[in-house]
């Protein structure tokens, strides 16, 4: 990936890239390097002026802002106050498809913009920065993945949302972390063997919970991969009353310490509903903004990452999510650039696996008897560690 022309500072990002070996398994990995733009630091006055400009431009363009929980707090607030949404990738996809606006502005990373385009090909999809990517997407190139699938034609191909349109085009199902376990349970019950990509930790977690036969691609999220079990255990001892909330992209020894394992939305619901005043949170720290709003008066502590703030790779914040800023959001709305395009044939093929998931999710919702959200969600991802 080469940077588009930019005056912004760049930082190098190290991530784990799976390697296909001779036996056609993606069982090993190497360290690869990418880069991310460092977001500008703005004064209060600059932020206020940009927010006003964005509110006006959203109206003028008949556009709606769809933001992920991991992006800057200002963008999350703007999305909510202007009638857009802040959510996980499943809800972002669903919201964008159903909203009547002709332009969707997706504040997140590139695969989210592509998914929005695949689901709403008639809409204009803009993103603050087209170079905002994801280590899972980078670590699963379409050609390598196709070779992996070709080597295992007897398996149902299930891919996580964090993949390119071309990888989704090769899949039977797309899943997000909020529904992956239910879909694999369903496929396992039908006797299907699964080829899973790209996140090895999420795949391993689902494999353990369901007992399904899953062949795993060895990708990882550079943010979640950095959380450390030993340090988390020490932190837990310092805060014996805290509940531990963990995203399943984290390593197994971190998941093993969790009171609740779940998607971003499920973790926010847990923070709201669990009877605890203190939480240790193992996911991107961008989520803390929403957690504090959803559960005022509660205290949230970031789970420890490798090294300290000077040496950690991500320091619990995705460098690509951080590329979404007020300044580039205002600029794309003004100029209409940074439009997402997906090859129509690839989009058509990828649509099937995304639509299959949305349809499954809608049926699940219809089948769930009214109960607390947390009770429903705990059926999807249970607390697997000490209660």
Binding-site annotation, residues for iminosuccinate:
68, 89, 160-162, 177, 247-249, 264
Of 263 and 338, CB closest to ligand SF4: 263
Smallest distance from ligand SF4 to CB 127, Å: 13
Asked whether the beta carbons of 303 and 282 are under 8 A apart, the reply is yes
Please give the radius of gyration of the chain, using alpha carbons only, rounded to the nearest integer.
Answer: 20
34 to 63: interface string for ligand SF4, x by CB under 6 A: ------------------------------
167 contributes a contact to ligand SF4 by CB under 6 A: no
- Single out the residue of 64, 202, 318, 325 in contact with ligand SF4 (rule: CB under 6 A): 318
Neighbours of 87 (CB within 10 A): 24
Of 263 and 378, CB closest to ligand SF4: 263
**Residue from 208, 267, 223 nearest 243 by CA:** 267
- Single out the residue of 131, 284, 331, 377 in contact with ligand SF4 (rule: CB under 6 A): 284
In sequence order, the β-bridge partners of residue 190 are none
- Distances in Å between the Cα of 291 and the Cα atoms of 104, 362, 370, 378 are 25, 26, 24, 18
- Name the binding residues for [4Fe-4S] cluster: 134, 221, 318
- Single out the residue of 20, 50, 127, 222 in contact with ligand SF4 (rule: CB under 6 A): 222
Asked whether the beta carbons of 342 and 351 are under 8 A apart, the reply is no
Smallest distance from ligand SF4 to CB 226, Å: 10
* Beta strands per DSSP E along the chain: 10-19, 28-37, 63-68, 85-87, 103-107, 124-126, 156-160, 173-175, 194-197, 214-216, 243-246, 260-261, 278-282, 299-302
320 contributes a contact to ligand SF4 by CB under 6 A: yes
Neighbours of 141 (CB within 10 A): 16
Find the part of the chain contacting ligand SF4 (CB under 6 A) among 25-33, 98-106, 266-274, 318-326: 318-326
Find the part of the chain contacting ligand SF4 (CB under 6 A) among 20-28, 74-82, 143-151, 217-225: 217-225
Q: How far is CA 356 from the centre of its chain?
A: 19
Alpha helices in 198-300 (DSSP H): 200-210, 229-238, 252-255, 264-273, 288-294
Of 167 and 223, CB closest to ligand SF4: 223
162 contributes a contact to ligand SF4 by CB under 6 A: yes
136 contributes a contact to ligand SF4 by CB under 6 A: yes
223 contributes a contact to ligand SF4 by CB under 6 A: yes
- Single out the residue of 105, 221, 254, 260 in contact with ligand SF4 (rule: CB under 6 A): 221
8 φ, ψ to 5°? -80, 155
Residue count of the chain, please give it: 387
Of 135 and 378, CB closest to ligand SF4: 135
Contacts to ligand SF4 by CB under 6 A: 70, 109, 134-136, 162, 221-223, 284, 318, 320-321
């Amino acid at each position: 990936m080469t940077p588009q022309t930019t005056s912004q500072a760049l930082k190098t990002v190290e991530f784990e890239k799976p390697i296909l070996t001779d036996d056609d398994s993606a069982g090993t990995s190497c360290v690869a390097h990418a880069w991310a733009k460092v977001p500008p630091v703005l004064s209060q006055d600059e932020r206020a002026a940009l927010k006003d400009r964005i509110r006006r431009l959203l109206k003028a363009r008949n556009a709606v802002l769809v933001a992920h929980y991991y992006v800057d707090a200002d963008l999350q607030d703007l999305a909510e106050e202007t009638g857009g949404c802040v959510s996980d990738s499943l809800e972002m996809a669903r919201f964008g498809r159903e909203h009547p606006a002709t332009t969707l502005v997706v504040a997140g990373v590139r695969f989210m913009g592509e998914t929005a385009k695949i689901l709403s090909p008639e809409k204009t999809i803009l993103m603050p920065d087209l170079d905002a990517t994801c280590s899972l997407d980078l670590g699963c190139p379409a050609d390598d993945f196709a070779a992996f699938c070709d080597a295992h034609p007897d398996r149902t191909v299930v891919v996580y949302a964090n993949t390119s349109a071309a990888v989704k085009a090769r899949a039977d199902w797309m899943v997000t972390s909020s529904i992956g376990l239910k879909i694999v349970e369903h496929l396992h019950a039908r006797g299907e063997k699964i080829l899973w990509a790209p996140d090895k930790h999420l795949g391993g977690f689902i494999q353990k919970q369901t007992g399904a036969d899953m062949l795993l691609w060895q990708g990882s999220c550079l943010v979640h991969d950095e959380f450390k079990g030993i340090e988390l255990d020490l932190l837990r001892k310092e805060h014996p009353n805290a509940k531990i909330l963990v995203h399943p992209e984290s390593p197994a020894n971190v998941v093993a310490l969790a009171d609740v394992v779940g998607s971003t939305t499920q973790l926010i619901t847990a923070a709201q509903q669990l009877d605890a005043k203190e939480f240790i949170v193992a996911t991107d720290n961008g989520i803390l903004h929403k957690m504090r709003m959803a559960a005022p008066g509660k205290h949230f502590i970031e789970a420890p990452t490798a090294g300290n703030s000077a040496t950690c790779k991500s320091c619990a914040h995705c460098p690509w999510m951080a590329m979404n800023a007020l300044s580039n959001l205002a600029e794309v709305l003004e100029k209409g650039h940074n439009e997402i395009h997906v090859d129509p044939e690839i989009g058509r093929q990828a649509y099937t696996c995304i639509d299959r998931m949305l349809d499954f999710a809608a049926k699940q919702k219809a089948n769930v008897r009214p109960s607390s959200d947390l009770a429903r969600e705990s059926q999807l991802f249970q607390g697997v560690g000490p209660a």
